[in-house]
Amino acid sequence: MLGWIAPPLYSMDATSPRLTAHRLSLQTGARTLVDALDLSLEPGEVLGILGANGAGKSTLLAVLAGLASPAHGHVTLGDQRLDTLPPLTRAQHIGLLPQGDEGGFFGSVNDFVALGRHPFGDAPTDLAAHLATWELGGLAHRPLDTLSGGERQRARLAQLAIQMPQIALLDEPLTHLDPAHQARLLAWARSEADAGRSVALTLHDPNWAACQCDRLLLLHGDGRWQLGTPAVLLTPASLEGLYGAGTAMLWRRQA
């Protein structure tokens, strides 16, 4: 059902720190992907990041997670620079769902999802609830590498959710998911934001972005970027400027 909302599984810490990019510039070789980006991920919002392949979306999420360094600028978590914090501290606040499935895990779905609690050094007490949320209960004891692509993606999402991040960064989380599970993932993101947490995710479908995101960040891949609401940024002209001629037809204006 498209109206499905994941049940809240934990309480919100009212003092959750804000993740902020200060004059951030990203490069690959001699090419500038993003130039002088100022961005604050606000508690209670879903930020959608759109751009063509190679525009810098994954690079930006890696920098925001503290896993890569920008060409210029810096990121702060609260009032501290992210690059000065130990990896364990970062992982206790920020959760990242990478785009790729690294593979190499040969344990069960149960074991894989439970790894999400590793930054806190404890075992999840609500593992069954998280598995049920992502429809993995019947697969709990299956080896992860025997799952389909969509099932494995749901296991990765469950691992992120059980980490309980105050700031969730998801890189193309809809990959391999069927339409029903895409809707469930986006409903989960909305419920996380409604509980006061911050969610940023990269998307390719402007319709999902219009339905579920409070703000959008458009990356043009040549240093230019645009930040604003879907109502302002999602126009036929902006989509064709972002993706190329003929792509405006992919978007249906919301009534």
The answer for residues whose C-beta is within 8 angstroms of residue 199's C-beta and 6 or more apart is 45, 46, 47, 167, 168, 170, 189, 192, 193
User: Can you tell me the mean pLDDT for 23-37?
Assistant: 95
CATH number at residue 34: 3.40.50.300
Q: Give me the pLDDT at residue 7, please.
A: 34
Measured CA to CA, the distance from residue 82 to residue 87 in angstroms comes to 9
Judged against a pLDDT cut of 80, whether residue 8 lies above it is answered with no
| Statement to judge: residues 182 and 219 lie in one domain | yes
Reduced to 3 states (helix: H, G, I; strand: E, B; else coil), residue 78 is coil
Q: Give me the pLDDT at residue 247, please.
A: 84
| Statement to judge: residues 25 and 142 lie in one domain | no
How many other C-beta atoms lie within 10 A of the C-beta of residue 250? 13
Measured CA to CA, the distance from residue 37 to residue 64 in angstroms comes to 12
- Structure-model confidence comparison of residues 253 and 93, the more confident one: 93
Could you list the residue range(s) of the whole structural domain that residue 160 is in?
A: 103-164
Judged against a pLDDT cut of 50, whether residue 32 lies above it is answered with yes
Reduced to 3 states (helix: H, G, I; strand: E, B; else coil), residue 152 is helix
pLDDT digits (tens, 9 = 90+) for 112-161: 999 999 988 887 788 999 899 999 999 999 999 899 999 999 999 999 99
- Single-letter amino acid code for the residue at 75: V
In a domain, 55, yes or no: yes
Q: Give me the pLDDT at residue 248, please.
A: 79
Q: Report the predicted TM-score, pTM, of the whole model to 2 decimal places.
A: 0.90
| Statement to judge: residues 87 and 185 lie in one domain | yes
Reduced to 3 states (helix: H, G, I; strand: E, B; else coil), residue 22 is strand
Number of H helices, E strands in the chain: 9, 10
Q: Give me the pLDDT at residue 245, please.
A: 86
Closest Cα partner for 52 from 175, 218, 231, 211? 218
In a domain, 60, yes or no: yes
Measured CA to CA, the distance from residue 49 to residue 54 in angstroms comes to 13
What percent of the chain has pLDDT above 70?
A: 91
Would you say 207 and 252 are in contact if contact means Cβ atoms under 8 Å apart? yes
Q: Which of 121, 143, 164 is where one domain is finished?
A: 164
User: Can you tell me the mean pLDDT for 80-92?
Assistant: 94
| Statement to judge: residues 119 and 210 lie in one domain | no
| Statement to judge: residues 179 and 149 lie in one domain | no
The answer for residues whose C-beta is within 8 angstroms of residue 242's C-beta and 6 or more apart is 50, 51, 52, 218, 220
- Structural domain count of the chain: 2
User: Can you tell me the mean pLDDT for 63-70?
Assistant: 96
In a domain, 6, yes or no: no
Would you say 25 and 37 are in contact if contact means Cβ atoms under 8 Å apart? yes
pLDDT digits (tens, 9 = 90+) for 154-193: 999 999 999 999 999 999 999 999 999 999 999 999 999 9
Q: Give me the pLDDT at residue 3, please.
A: 32
| Statement to judge: residues 109 and 233 lie in one domain | no
Looking only at the bridges linking them, the beta strands covering 215-219 and 72-77 are unpaired
Half-sphere exposure (Cβ direction) of 202: Cα atoms closer than 13 Å: 22
Query: What own/partner pairs with CB < 8 Å and gap ≥ 24 does 31-35 have?
Result: 31/222, 32/71, 32/222, 32/223, 33/59, 33/219, 33/221, 33/222, 33/223, 34/59, 34/60, 34/219, 34/223, 34/225, 35/223, 35/224, 35/225
